[in-house]
Amino acid sequence: MKFFLSLFALTFALNADILLPKTFTTNFEQTITNEKGKVIKYEGKVIFKNIKEILYTPEGGDETYKRSLFKWSYTSPTQKEVCTDGIQLTVVDHDLEQVSHYFINDGIDLEQVLKLAKPLTKIDYKATYKDIEYLISMDNNQHLKKIVYVDSLDNKVKIIFKNMSYNNSIKEQELECHAPDEYDIIEG
């Protein structure tokens, strides 16, 4: 569970001066070090899409609603897919042949994180939100390169992004987790 909370916290660690693209895809290397010094390394691919929807209210007005969709496809050392819309988290563990669904009780307000972030240098930024400090690095193209933080469970998390590509055409179906019908389902 520590792994998924760390992953969720990362999902929303971006900066106001860093332009949040409508979409991005990237490969990643994630290192999680627990309080005892045990290190776990993961590799895979991330797909992101920021969606704006118009909701119509009973009073006849309309309201813009934003959602950020993420899909983390882990390829090493385990085969896993993690999909979230900021409200629900779905984990498909292909090694265990199970699907877990969780509702996120303490979601992070992306807009608030963006407002609180401050540049440290031309490519490095810092954001503190809900007592978690995020250090964010950009590459020379101002694309996300690295995020480092200590999560609420005292895990040191470092994620390095490689081959970042912004504003690709991504269909919402690409952000869904899929599993064979015979996988066990766990509701969290």
> How many domains would you assign to the chain?
1
Residue with the larger pLDDT of the pair 92 and 21: 92
pLDDT classification of 14: cutoffs 50, 70, 90: very low
Q: Is the pLDDT of residue 60 over 80?
A: no
Q: Are 69 and 172 in contact (CB under 8 A)?
A: yes
pLDDT classification of 62: cutoffs 50, 70, 90: low
CA nearest to 135, candidates 127, 143, 10: 127
Q: Which domain holds residue 13?
A: 2-187
Q: How many helices (H) and strands (E) does the chain have?
A: 2, 12
State residue 63's pLDDT score.
Answer: 64
The CATH number of residue 16's host domain is: 2.50.20.10
The pTM (predicted TM-score) of the whole model is: 0.80
How many Å apart are CA 89 and CA 8, to the nearest integer?
8
Label the pairing between strands 80-84 and 184-187.
Answer: unpaired
State residue 110's pLDDT score.
Answer: 47
The percentage of residues in the chain with a pLDDT greater than 70, rounded to a whole number, is 76
How many Å apart are CA 83 and CA 7, to the nearest integer?
10
